[in-house]
Amino acid sequence: MSLELEDVDHVTVLGAGSMGHGITEVVALGGYDVTMRDIEEEIVEDGYQDIEWSLEKLSEKGRIDQDPEAVLGRISTAVDLESAVADTDLVIEAAPEKLDLKRDIYADLEEFAPDHTVFASNTSSLPITQIAEATDRPEQVVGTHYFNPPVKMDLVEVIYGEGTSDETAELAYEFVEDIDKTPIYVRKDVRGFVVNTVLGPFGDEAAWMASEGVATVEAIDAAMVHQRGYPMGPFELSDMTGIDIGYDVAKEAGREVAPIVEEKVENEHLGRKTGKGYYDYEDGDGTTYEPGDGEGVDTLRIEARIVNRAAYLIREDVATPDAIDTGMRLGTGFPEGPCRRADKIGLDTIVEKLRDLHEEYSAERYEPDPWLVEKVEAGETGEDAGSGFYDYGGEDGTRDYTTIDHELHDNGLLEIELDRPSRMNALNDDLMEETVHLLDSVDVDEVRAVTFEGNGDRAFSAGADITGFSGVAPHEVEVTEFFETVNDFPRPTLAKIDGFCLGGGHELAMACDLRVATEDSEFGFPEINLGLIPGGGGTQRAIRMLPEARAKELVFRGNRISAERAHKWGLINCAVDSEEFEEICQEFVDDLVNGPPIALRKAKQVMNRGADENMAAGLEMESQAFGLLLTTDDMEEGAMAFMGDREPEFEGK
């Protein structure tokens, strides 16, 4: 019988170094009893102290609502391996990245751990299959690649070895979700798994471009950061991770290394750790690129190769487009997933670029992946064609969304979740466009109410995505449609706010009809600090919703106010304890989905429109709506139910 998540009571983490103690901390934060074991008492003590320090910091910053002492109470430490795993259900091994060492550990584990115990290896580069071979239970061995630092990074790659059973991989996946991290499946044990496979060309192609002299290091970094929105340039990133690391990986994989990389490694200019790399950190100030330096750089060269790797993973059934995009956004901070980006660029453009490069350099790395070629030949070239890596509303009207999650329940509740937790659910063009598409395409008759919430407990939304601001021309900014589509949706809407509700996020909440927030949520319009004003209806809704001085205080000062204050001011319906949040929201939802749909629609319409009219015009609207409602079956039902002393059942007729 395979292990189920509910049977996992005790976890053992092997290793107390930076990964080991970080994983121990997130497992304990997830509510599990966990033993952290390393080979020496001193290492274990250091790891434990690091956890203590980290929990204290998280608590001070309000990032956790658990008592650090309670979390520490779930952690025990050990040096003796046998007793550390004698009664454990899940072992997460985070030993140094040496295959022989790991295999020795697994041979011991095989002897000491109970038969039902699942072994999860935290590795970023070693083959899970070979690690598993050291045990007699390869079906119970899985890879779980946590990113550094585990407390901050949301992503975990869940990797199948050749022998891993579906049950084991599913258990690992559910466990990762249960400790509040985001898992993605890596269904085959390929070198680099998903994230490093796709990230490889980011640095590699940049290095070829610099080596060939088609662009400078500074120009490439500037272009990738300031034009394409990556959090760091490829050279800046290599300097941070160590130029030798990328070099070793490429050599091990038998890949040709760009001359500029060879030269840096030969001269031992390996990046920050040696004081010099592509930039000078010893005598200079580190990176030296300016926003305008990237003019004219062929960024498509780099992105085409990234997309080519994503296509390879899909063709080989290693990962889905969604898993790849999630992995790259959460694991490396890519501004959007490469599959989604490729669909916007056009797969035909990508293939053409690769073919041109292949013709020019005859190098294997430019050969377009057969999956991409097939897609292009089938006319599935991306968003404009209706299908590419994702589906954009083919003939059956369905469409994949990448920045929102939604579910339409049988009771008519449409739940929409803003799904960009690593960016505090900031509103980017995709998120706004997808929300508008969903609200425009959903069958309104099937919907009785809509809720909006943010993924995670840090933010409802921290506003418009600031990373997309630079270089945007005024005529390209079109946010009104998003907020007005929400405002005008003909069903009641509720914003469920847990965390930061700022800028455009605040404007989204204000465009909803009702707002319920947790007590530790914070509200504000920080736009003024960016030299802006709210641009999604914030100034206008605030001045209508609040007394003038309060509205102007929010907009002019850009300061944040607590949920309690927001409630006092009348910005939100209530501020509730986190423990009661879901229950109270449910009470609101129950009233909305069970209420009379036509009356609720009319009430929303006359109140929204009437607010901008004079009293006489408002009263006229109200009286017309009232007259119409008197003719509905719902009104008959309401009256009958009242007289029969029962709950009405409204059908929207």
Ligand X SMILES: C/C=C/C(=O)SCCNC(=O)CCNC(=O)[C@H](O)C(C)(C)COP(=O)(O)OP(=O)(O)OC[C@H]1O[C@@H](n2cnc3c(N)ncnc32)[C@H](O)[C@@H]1OP(=O)(O)O
Least separation in angstroms between CB 433 and ligand X: 15
Q: In what order do the strands lie in the sheet with 182-186?
A: 75-78, 33-37, 10-14, 90-93, 118-121, 141-146, 155-160, 182-186
Residue 147 within binding range of ligand X, rule CB under 6 A: no
**Residue 527 annotated to the active site:** yes
In 453-547, alpha helices (H): 480-488, 503-511, 538-545
Distance CA 291, CA 467 (A): 13
Nearer CB in complex with ligand X: 442/479: 479
Q: Is residue 374 left, alpha or beta, with left meaning phi > 0 and alpha meaning psi from -120 to 50?
A: alpha
**Residue 263 annotated to the active site:** no
State the first-to-last Cα distance of the chain, in angstroms, to the nearest integer: 53
Least separation in angstroms between CB 459 and ligand X: 6
CB atoms under 10 Å from CB of 176, counted, come to: 23
Residue 466 within binding range of ligand X, rule CB under 6 A: yes
Residue 467 within binding range of ligand X, rule CB under 6 A: yes
Nearer CB in complex with ligand X: 217/462: 462
Catalytic member of 507, 522, 622, 649? 507
How many residues line the site for ligand X (CB under 6 A)?
Answer: 21
Residue 508 within binding range of ligand X, rule CB under 6 A: no
- Pick out residues in 529-588 that bind ligand X (CB under 6 A): 530, 535-536
Nearer CB in complex with ligand X: 5/479: 479
**Which tokens sit at 589?**
């939802």
Nearer CB in complex with ligand X: 230/366: 230
Least separation in angstroms between CB 131 and ligand X: 31
Q: What is the CA radius of gyration of the chain?
A: 28
Catalytic member of 303, 527, 564, 651? 527
Least separation in angstroms between CB 547 and ligand X: 23
Nearer CB in complex with ligand X: 12/518: 518
Closest to 135 (Cα-Cα) out of 115, 154, 153: 115
Nearer CB in complex with ligand X: 232/641: 232
- Pick out residues in 473-502 that bind ligand X (CB under 6 A): 479, 500, 502
List the beta strands (DSSP E) in 349-425: 404-408, 413-418
Q: Which of 21, 423, 496, 601 binds ligand X (CB under 6 A)?
A: 423
CB 491 within 8 A of CB 457: no
Least separation in angstroms between CB 154 and ligand X: 10
- Pick out residues in 219-238 that bind ligand X (CB under 6 A): 231
Antiparallel, parallel or unpaired: β 459-461 and 449-454: unpaired
Residue 462 within binding range of ligand X, rule CB under 6 A: yes
Least separation in angstroms between CB 292 and ligand X: 22
Burial class (CB in 10 A: 0-12, 13-18, 19+), 6: exposed
Closest to 229 (Cα-Cα) out of 76, 334, 378: 334
Least separation in angstroms between CB 387 and ligand X: 29
Enumerate the β-bridge partners of residue 325: none
Q: In what order do the strands lie in the sheet with 500-502?
A: 459-461, 500-502, 522-524, 560-562
Q: Which of 150, 233, 246, 503 binds ligand X (CB under 6 A)?
A: 503
Nearer CB in complex with ligand X: 271/463: 463
Residue where the block lists tokens 């192609």: 205
* Cis previous bond, 291, omega within 30: no
Residues lying near ligand X in the complex (CB under 6 A): 231, 333, 423-424, 426, 462-467, 479, 500, 502-504, 526-527, 530, 535-536
